[in-house]
A and B are shown apart, each in its own frame.
Chain A
Amino acid sequence: MEISDPRDYYIEEASELLSEIEARIVDLEKSPEDYELLNTVFRALHTIKGSGSMFGYDEIASFTHEVETVFDYLRDGKLLINKKIIDSTLMACDHISVLLKNPQNADKELQEKLVASFRELMSKVQEYAPHTAEPTPPLAEKTQEEPRKTYRIEFKPGREIFLRGIKILPLLNELSDLGEALIIANSDELPNLEDLNPEHCYTTWTAILTTSSGINAIKDVFIFVEDYSRIKIDVIDEGDVLGTEDDYKKIGEILSERGYMNVEEINKIISKKKLFGEMAVEQGIVTPDKVESALAEQKYVREMRKRRNEVQTGSTIRVKNEKLDYLVDLVGELVTLQARLSGYANKDGEAELLNISETLEGLTSELRETTMSIRMVPLTETFRSFFRLVRDLSHELGKNVELVTYGAETELDKNVIDMLKDPLVHIIRNSVDHGIEHSKDRAALGKPEKGTITQGAAYSGANVLIEISDDGRVLDPEKIRKKGEEKGLIKSGSEIGEHELFNLIFEPGFSTSEKATGISGRGVGMDVVRKNIERLRGTVEVASEKNRGTTITIRLPLTLSIIDGLLLEVGDGKYIVNLSDVVECFELTGDLLGISDNNSIANIRGEAVPFINLRTLFSQQDASEGNMQLVVVNTEDQKTGIAVDRVLGQTQIVIKPLSIAFRNVEEVSGSTILGDGSIALILDVNKITQKAREEKTSRIAK
């Protein structure tokens, strides 16, 4: 077949790509985890869209864009490939084929239906993942096929290119999609309006493109216009050379390289000792457009090199976990030793020693923060593994469930992440097994047939919040109450709020499921989840609301081992609270106790703040001398006071596990060795807050 119209090339190429997509889609059904298959389908769709737009097949371009977006989300792990996506994509391929070859026969109703189904998938991801709405990175950022290089592409389209039905904007757009691009339009050949043929192209372009897609990908962009244009592609920066200087060619060099000036003309201008570009324009050797374009290239490459050098200076190396753990241990020892030195220096009072101690304290603190930051890793991998889990479980149970995630970039201590996986698996298993209903039941309830589990993470002060929610059946308060009473967890007929009632599910042996399944409910209940979370010094809570579903919220500290603490004294004992929980400290005078009935509510600037007296809590009989101190802590946006004998000051501490003697004391979460060798107990501020609130409620009730 003799092809004369470039649009025929497009139809031929797009048809081939559609066949490839169909074959790959069938493969994907068998190997949904194959990233390369996803990538191939995405790239084929991207080409059909880009070239379609270039040749004026706007309907194909906009329709294919919808399918392409779904595959971009699949590549990013924001969606999981499923039968519906596979079926819809195959139908979309058939539809594109009709649009290509027989547009008048295209079924508009089908097109709208398909677009609606693709958008529905997208809307779910966007609805549940507001933090992931960043613009999609360009194609080249994800493929990483070749070393990153910077190219100068000079594109001079033939005068009559518009008349061939070729559209330049989609072509330039596709070029920009290959990486980081600077597009410069040169319009110095543009005549006055009287002489302008409006159907001719007078503009030429220079593009500076940094990409890892390789020169063939760049050539592919111009594949349909190369016969009617002059295209010159040069590598202007190799991009993989370490230590390349930030500097780049002088303007004269760039203009000469592009063939706008010769050496003689350059030397003539240099001798004038004026700004090169201005002189070159003044002498009529080059147009302002050409100088501007060269300046833009110079600025682009200089900035790009500067950025790259900054990145290369901070490039990464792999370190074994054991080495990191050892480093953290050593830093812990150093922190303890520094505390000892600090204590000794303060006692001794010698100026030079105090100075050395303070300097060492600053350095130790910096070393601690740096070491801790090394161990921080994002939750991406953990979250990603749950897509497979949900898919397999829903197949096994014959349910239609989708997992949506957000905030996977949130970082946590690597050891926390490792220990977090099992509790998360259990929660998600519970959601699929007991939460999400079968499609038929959901339909009867007026819910979407497909159930959704949303898993997300976000920072909250010195903590990370992880939420797992599902739109399945909600917790039944009556059922939980009945079970709680049966198990003796609550007294029969006792008044208990819904929040406390729901959280009974974390009590040992509690299960409302009428039958154990192979997936969850086999003895390993939510009590184990809570125990594991508490081992990480975290908390777990559940909330359930009709029409809104059930949400389990896990709150975890950012790090496990070393924290900034506030050292407190009660009698002979020393205690630590995490400094990030502390709001303020007061002397507990009569003014503060003004509204207290039995010394347990403080009046802080008119606000009633419940407090716990540590002397009472830890049964210290002898009264303290003078006024006690009140440390106000803030958890979950509520203030609580902790009354102590003395606030000794700020200190860095290494968290050690509790000895067996303290394992049953709920208000204590760990211990530490102080600089003088004595032991301090780390207070669990959440538990203390809870206790203070309960006491306050019971007093109000009385």
Chain B
Amino acid sequence: MLEIEQKKDNGKIVLKLKGEASIENAEKIHKSFLQFINNNETLLLDLDEVEKVDISFLQILAALCKTLNEKKGEILFLTSLPKPLEEALIISGYFRYKHCIFDHGKSCWINEMIRSTEGG
């Protein structure tokens, strides 16, 4: 079960995901992200109520970040790192980007998430 809510906040698009961000809903998530990548906009993601995460979701997030970076768009995370996502990042080995030796800058979506977490 996954709900995707879309709203505007100060002119920016906010996408809130609630429920299971897993393979069963991968297509739905993919489609909703695709709507925004051509707008050269800042996309605000709220993942606070995500309850379940699997590799398919990590891949979608990574691909979204890669694409927005190429299109000079931006992805910002509104909330702190939710527990299921943090666990998935650790187990899957995606978390190594936190200590990435290359300067991914804004293209490193995990660093972005950690920044938003640390920033409150």
Binding site for B on A (CB under 8 A): 162, 167-169, 172-173, 176, 182-185, 187, 190-194, 196, 198-199, 201-203, 205, 207, 277, 281, 288, 292, 295-296
Contacts and interface: CB of A to CB of B under 8 A. Distances in A.
B101 interface: yes
Given A184-B96, A199-B26, A192 B67 contact: yes
Interface in B24-41: 26-27, 29-30, 33-34, 37
B91 A173 contact: yes
A174 to B, nearest CB: 10
Contacts of A187: 59, 62, 94
Q: Nearest 5 CB-CB pairs, A to B? A: A183-B93, A198-B26, A198-B30, A185-B93, A193-B67
B92 A183 contact: yes
A202 B100 CA distance: 20
Contacts of A173: 91
A238 B102 CA distance: 31
14 contacts: A167-B54, A169-B55, A169-B88, A169-B92, A185-B93, A187-B59, A193-B64, A193-B66, A194-B37, A198-B56, A199-B56, A201-B56, A288-B102, A295-B101
Given A190-B62, A193-B67, A199-B56, A292 B92 contact: no
A193 B37 contact: yes
B55 A201 contact: yes
B23 A196 contact: no
B2 to A, nearest CB: 13
A203 B33 CA distance: 20
Helix, strand, loop or mixed for chain A's interface? mixed
The residue among B30, B37, B92 with the most chain A CB atoms within 10 A of its own CB is B92
A199 B100 CA distance: 27
A185 B94 contact: yes
Given A193-B37, A194-B34, A292-B100, A185 B92 contact: yes
A184 B93 contact: yes
Interface string B72-100: 00000000000000001001111010001
B60 interface: yes
B63 interface: yes
Contacts of B92: 168-169, 172, 183, 185, 203, 205
Contacts of A295: 101
B59 A201 contact: yes
A167 B101 CA distance: 29
A172 B54 CA distance: 12
Contacts of A203: 55, 58-59, 92
Given A176-B91, A183-B93, A199-B56, 20 more contacts: A162-B55, A169-B54, A169-B55, A169-B88, A184-B96, A185-B94, A185-B96, A187-B62, A190-B62, A192-B63, A192-B66, A193-B30, A198-B29, A199-B23, A201-B56, A203-B55, A205-B92, A205-B93, A281-B102, A292-B100
B5 interface: no
Contacts of B58: 185, 203
Contacts of B63: 190-193, 196
A485 to B, nearest CB: 63
A168 B30 contact: no
Contacts of B55: 162, 168-169, 201, 203
Contacts of B62: 187, 190
B105 to A, nearest CB: 13
Contacts of A167: 54
A202 B56 CA distance: 9
B56 A169 contact: no
Nearest to A206: B93
A185 B55 CA distance: 10
Contacts of B33: 193
A11 B67 CA distance: 41
A198 B91 contact: no
A292 B34 contact: no
Contacts of A205: 92-93
Nearest to B104: A288
Nearest to B66: A192
The residue among B58, B67, B93, B100 with the most chain A CB atoms within 10 A of its own CB is B93
Interface in B99-115: 100-102
The residue among A185, A201, A202, A296 with the most chain B CB atoms within 10 A of its own CB is A185
A295 B99 CA distance: 12
A205 B92 CA distance: 8
A194 B73 CA distance: 15
Contacts of B29: 198
A296 B67 contact: no
B44 to A, nearest CB: 17
B66 A190 contact: yes
Nearest to B36: A193
